[in-house]
Amino acid sequence: MSKLWKDSILAKKVIKQKYIVHLIVILFVLLSILGLKNFNLRDWDEGAFALQGQWLATMGAQGKPFNFQTPPLFQSLIAILFSLFQVNPKMLPLLSIIFSCITIYIIYHLAKILFSQKEGVYSIILFIS
């Protein structure tokens, strides 16, 4: 490498290991958002969670509730999202992307504490792929 590149501020910031996790998360978010162009609710539980969230957001005005076989935290967060931004199925993956980013940071910090920083990076790459 040239001396100019080694002394540049950009090289010092990119090479630092602590920024690699943030770069991976940003890349994950960008690729996830780009993958939402042709989004449909794929699994049956995504549709059920969306309908339960819609029912909670409208305070029961949208038909009968489903039986809540799971803890209602995710459905409640969907209801808050629907209350703020209206009922739009395109908003549902954003909640999943946010939780995935939080999970990435948790996995990285656990692996870094238990093993090393390098294994933390490998573990989040494995989690994302």
Mean pLDDT score across all residues of the chain:
78
pLDDT for residue 14 is more than 60: no
- The pLDDT score that the predictor gives to residue 5 is 46
Tokens of 39: 């989004």
pLDDT band at 103 (very low <50, low <70, confident <90, very high): very high
Buried b (16+ CB within 10 A) or exposed e, 24-63: bbeebbeebeeeeeeeeeeeeeeebbbbbbbbbbeeeeee
Residues in the chain: 129
Sorted by where each begins, the domain ranges of the chain are: 3-128
pTM for the model stands at: 0.70
More reliable by pLDDT, 101 or 18: 101
pLDDT for residue 23 is more than 60: yes
Tokens of 38: 């042709």
pLDDT tens digit string along 51-94? 788 888 887 766 666 666 777 788 888 888 888 888 777 778 88
Residue 63 DSSP one-character state: S
